[in-house]
C-alpha cells in the first residue's frame, strides 16, 4: 500500500484511536474526533 492510499484511508475516518501500554503494563487509549471543517471569511 503506498502513501497516497494510506493518507486517503486516514482522511476518511471520523475517529482515531491511539493506544499504548505504559511501563507497568497498563493500557492507555485515547480517542480523537475528526476536526470540523470550518472556513474563516
pLDDT per residue as tens digits for the range 2-41? 899 988 888 888 888 999 999 999 999 999 888 777 666 6
Note the pLDDT of residue 16: 86
Closest CA to 34 of 11, 14, 6, 19: 14
pTM for this model (two decimals): 0.49
Note the pLDDT of residue 10: 82
**Residue keyed to cell 501500554:** 21
Report d(CA 24, CA 12) in Å as an integer. 34
With contact defined as beta carbons under 8 Å apart, do 40 and 27 qualify?
A: no
Residue extents of the structural domains in the chain: 14-41
Cα distances from 26 to residues 5, 17, 18, 20, in angstroms, run 33, 16, 14, 8
Amino acid at each position: 500500500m503506498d502513501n497516497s492510499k494510506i493518507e486517503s484511508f486516514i482522511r476518511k475516518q471520523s475517529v482515531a484511536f491511539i493506544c499504548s501500554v505504559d511501563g507497568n503494563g497498563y493500557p492507555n487509549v485515547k480517542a480523537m474526533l475528526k476536526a470540523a471543517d470550518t472556513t474563516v471569511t
